[in-house]
Amino acid sequence: MTLFASIILGFTQVLVICCGEKLLRLAISPIAEETHAVASLMTQLKVDDKTTVTMFEHSGEINFGRATASGIKFYLMTDCNRVPFASLGLSPPDPIYGTYLPTIQQLLGRPKSQRLIKRSAFSVYLRGGDRPTGELILGGQDGSKYRGALEYVTIVDKAFPRIVLWNIEIGSTSYAIEGNNEASIDTGANTLTMPKSFQAVVMHLLRTGGERPVNITEASGMYRISCGDAEYLPSISFLMRGSKGKLLSLRVKPASYVSEETEGRCILAILFDGPWTIGLPAFIGRYFLYDWDKSRIGIAKVK
């Protein structure tokens, strides 16, 4: 039995040397190809309590502009019980994925003369605007892309990279996070996700804690607002434990967590169906360095 799956790959624009580091710059541009999957080689993976993915192993060539990496192994998805997603394999190796090595580890595992990067660290940044643009940089960081010095938060769980979250602040009101206060700063998440227990207080403050009260409606776990009212929403700030015990605040403005769904109607990129996850809205206007070897994530404002 043979099935078909679509391969979506990106390409990089430039290979450069910066500050003594080899950096691979990726500007993602979808390219669709068709391939065959043998049913006997299918693997089913339960990503979390809700998502089950059926996939198969494939290998191919990744073109990095001035350099090419061949024989890179990755998995292609053929079925998913929720909205399909893509993952570039940037996290450290995890036993849950068996013998599969993340893309970065595969690049580092090549003979020294063929190695395109020297470190497992990577950076990602997004500039704001109607159509945010940015880069994914493998192998380190580019100091010319951010303002000032990076501020670091400590990774406390390397198996599934998590940081410690102390408080959440909406407008001028702050709430301490007790109990399970670990959170992930997730490059693959499109929303700010919070536990169900915070839903009532957070939504009340979003409706009343801004420049003026606004009407937010809810349907099937999604929240909508008139786009004309979005500017009156409060900012959302996450207070995290930084290096050497210092506390670091990550502020997300309304323009970053609100997007237009239809003309005049906007949707909030906020969910209440899982553990603390700081996703895409927090990345807009910022530069992030993921340094697994030193168990830290660096954060700065984009130039």
How many residues would you count in the chain? 303
Distance of CA 201 to the CA centre of its chain: 25
| Percent above pLDDT 70 for the chain | 78
What are the pLDDT digits (tens) for 153-197? 999 887 677 899 999 999 999 989 987 799 999 988 889 999 999
Sequence-separated (6 or more) residues with CB below 8 Å from residue 167:
174, 175, 176, 177, 237, 238, 239
What are the pLDDT digits (tens) for 52-79? 777 777 788 877 767 788 888 877 777 7
Q: What is the average pLDDT score of the chain?
A: 81
What are the pLDDT digits (tens) for 101-147? 888 888 888 888 888 888 889 999 999 877 778 888 888 999 999 99
pLDDT mean over 209-237: 95
Burial bucket for residue 196 (CB in 10 Å: 0-12, 13-18, 19+):
exposed
What kind of fold does domain 144-301 have according to CATH? Cathepsin D, subunit A; domain 1 (2.40.70)
Helices (H), the chain: 103-108, 199-208, 254-257, 280-283
User: Position of tokens 């990279």?
Assistant: 161
What confidence score (pLDDT) does residue 26 get?
Answer: 53
Q: Is the pLDDT of residue 7 over 90?
A: no
Give dist(CA 250, CA 227) in Å, integer: 24
Q: In which band, very low, low, confident or very high, does the pLDDT at 91 lie, cut at 50, 70 and 90?
A: confident
What confidence score (pLDDT) does residue 232 get?
Answer: 97
Helices (H), 190-234: 199-208
Q: Which of 162, 165, 191, 155 is nearest to 278 (CA)?
A: 191
DSSP state of 48: S
Give dist(CA 135, CA 49) in Å, integer: 31
Q: In which band, very low, low, confident or very high, does the pLDDT at 85 lie, cut at 50, 70 and 90?
A: low
What confidence score (pLDDT) does residue 228 get?
Answer: 95
Give dist(CA 24, CA 136) in Å, integer: 8
Give dist(CA 154, CA 164) in Å, integer: 8
What confidence score (pLDDT) does residue 1 get?
Answer: 30
What confidence score (pLDDT) does residue 216 get?
Answer: 97
Show contacts of 201-204: CB within 8 Å, 24+ apart: 201/175, 202/168, 202/170, 202/270, 202/272
Q: Which two tokens stand for residue 263?
A: 């003309």
Q: Which two tokens stand for residue 42?
A: 């299918």
Burial bucket for residue 143 (CB in 10 Å: 0-12, 13-18, 19+):
middle
- The ranges assigned to domains in the chain are 2-118, 144-301
